[in-house]
Chains A and B, each alone.
Chain A
Amino acid sequence: MTGIRLVRLLEADGTPVEDERHPLPPPEVLLDSYRALVLGRRLNQQASALVRQGKLAVYPSSHGQEACQVAAAAALRDGDWLFPTYRDSIAAMERGVDPVEVLMMLRGDWHCGYDPLAHRVAPQSTPLATQLLHAVGVAHAARLKGEDTVVMALCGDGATSEGDFHEALNFAAVFAAPVVFLVQNNKYAISVPLARQSAAPTLAHKGIGYGVPAELVDGNDAAALTAVLGAAVERAASGGGPTLVEADTYRVEAHTNADDATRYRSDDEVEQWRERDPLVRLRFYLRSTGHLDDAAEAEFTEAAERAATRVREGISAEVPLDPAELFAHVYATRTPQLAAQEELLRAELAAGEDGR
């Protein structure tokens, strides 16, 4: 296990690479990955545009990391769980959550706009690494109940410095919990570079100390991610316990619109990573092997455009919020004190004193 060696199944120009550990996924699977990549890229662009238009408060884009997003979602089966972070909106959408509901948090309507239980997609976590422990809990409960549910838990390189990352890996290993930890190493935690997060040879090496099998994969290679994550899900489902997967990728855009990435990284560096674009790579492969024709490409683009339009319209549509809802969910039954505070707010609203 100490010999951690990068898994890459497609070169940046789409040329297949032989790897004795993982076969190249079949073309129909990769064609669907490409469909999802086109959609994910378009929705990333759309959400960023909505920030510039003032319709969303903020959007942490996964531009450049879309291969991780779609492969993580596609690796899961019906009934499996996804634990996304704030940067994993595309993965949540790929698991079937309405994009408008995903973005509701960033529009400011509520902290989580979708039903986590209906989709088996946990609320997007803004604290780092805390959700990894919840993922282990869901997985451990599934095992106790005799279900073969697998949980995909996402985090970034910065989160691997948090104590909860350590505790989650350790708990998962000790309990043989069916969790796949996918670390999207996009090289920056806002501004702080990877070298300041860890002195380990790779983040995948962290699995060794916990007794968790680990793999390092080219995070811009959808084929490699599909193979590695698929194998990890299969092992977890069959009682083989957790896997740590480090995806070597890059955050092409700034942390959010509020960030100025020119303060801590060079344009040259960004440009080098743009050349390793996950869409371009998979497209080259599918086109050169004749699995992607103009008709399919047009269909994917149009579907993505329709989805973007729905997001635009959905986010632009004002949904009235009831301020009294602030008191509705804190406890299953409102405490007498919250009931009194709700009455106070209602009275203020009725009197027109609170014009906010």
Chain B
Amino acid sequence: MSSAAKMTMAQAINTALRDAMTADESVVVFGEDVGPLGGVFRVTDGLTADFGEQRCFDTPLAESGIIGLAIGMAMNGMRPVVEMQFDAFAYPAFEQITSHLAKMANRTRGRVRLPVVVRVPYAGGIGGVEHHCDSSEGYYAHTPGLTVVAPATNEDAYGLLRAAIESPDPVIFLEPKKHYFAPEEVDTTRAVAPIGRAVVRRSGADATLIAYGPSVPVALAAAELAASEGHDLGVVDLRSIVPFDDETVMAEVRRTGRAVVVAEAQGFASVASEIAARVAEQCFHYLEAPVRRVTGFDIPYPPPKLEQHHLPSVERILDAVDDLQWDPA
């Protein structure tokens, strides 16, 4: 049906929604402004026109209501894919997500599974005003029962969303806003990206950068620059935060003996902290230096004119790499 083409991440996600809705009648899309407008980022562009009001519709403006509705519809045989519009605007739905969406299968001994996908446009770097740029993955990753994925490429956005919609479990699908409008080659005929598998984006011998979502291109840029300075850095793109791919990450770190975790979210009690702890526990005897984290500061997301100081930058990543106790040349 679809195959290789240049598309933005917004278009890749739109294509995934279309392909899933075509393949499975029980897939329904709803949220705020996702109908005739096509979403504030145009991710659901044309879905109402092409699939009808019953398959893609606007709801009242109430995030708890959207997730609650999705839970009920999933209990009655549907596969809802809902949009939260912005990361920080999903917080009114926190109880529905953490107490109900995440726990229903466990609570009912697996009798009621909720195949719901919650799409969350997330993270910063777009000059957004406050409450529009949060990296909220930590809240979800800390909640057992949720699968949490964050694509870094447009092709992964397509493949991971198809996999998320097919998953019997609820999936928090974090879409880096910064990537929405950048075109990349996307081949939708390739195998659906399996949830729970990281991918080595760049092989390197000296140190491993571990990143996900919007931090992956930053890590790749840092690796590129480091190569010109004599460090051969690898980059692992997690793709899935939960389930976490220990196998791929640890194999890379054991090979290089050095690791830097890169993530936009504030660092304290974060996904980056969890990764650093796991690497320390599982790779201690292979490590040449302590695991470093390059994250956002422990502050509320900054105003647009100051956000560049908060976000992990190529320079900050390279400074961390320089700290990895290299033997004197």
Contact = CB atoms under 8 A, between A and B. Distances in A.
B243 A335 contact: yes
B113 to A, nearest CB: 6
A133 B103 CA distance: 16
A174 B60 contact: yes
A133 B68 contact: yes
Contacts of A112: 107-109
B77 interface: yes
Nearest to B196: A335
B62 A117 contact: no
Interface string B59-75: 11010110111111111
Nearest to B170: A331
A164 B77 CA distance: 22
Interface string A306-334: 00000000000000000001001111100
Contacts of B75: 116-117, 122, 134, 137-138, 141
A297 interface: no
A337 B144 CA distance: 11
Nearest to A105: B107
A336 B77 CA distance: 28
Contact of A139 (B72, B113, B244): B72
19 contacts: A110-B107, A110-B109, A111-B106, A116-B111, A123-B112, A130-B100, A133-B71, A137-B73, A138-B73, A139-B72, A141-B73, A141-B77, A145-B77, A171-B62, A329-B106, A332-B167, A332-B168, A335-B196, A336-B246
Given A136-B68, A336-B246, A167 B106 contact: no
B110 A167 contact: no
Interface of A: 110-112, 115-118, 122-123, 127, 130, 132-142, 144-145, 149, 163-164, 167-168, 170-171, 174, 325, 328-332, 335-337
B105 A329 contact: yes
Contacts of A328: 109-110
Contact of B145 (A130, A135, A331): A331
Contacts of A122: 75
A123 B103 CA distance: 11
B78 A144 contact: yes
Contacts, number: 139
B68 A134 contact: yes
Contact of A123 (B95, B107, B168): B107
Given A111-B108, A163-B92, A170-B60, 17 more contacts: A112-B108, A132-B68, A133-B71, A134-B71, A134-B72, A136-B68, A137-B69, A163-B64, A167-B64, A168-B65, A170-B65, A171-B65, A330-B105, A330-B144, A331-B147, A332-B113, A336-B247
Interface string B69-94: 11111111110000000000000100
A337 B68 contact: no
Contacts of B145: 330-331
B111 A133 contact: no
B169 interface: yes
Q: Which of A168, A329, A332 has the most CB of B within 10 A?
A: A329
A68 B244 CA distance: 48
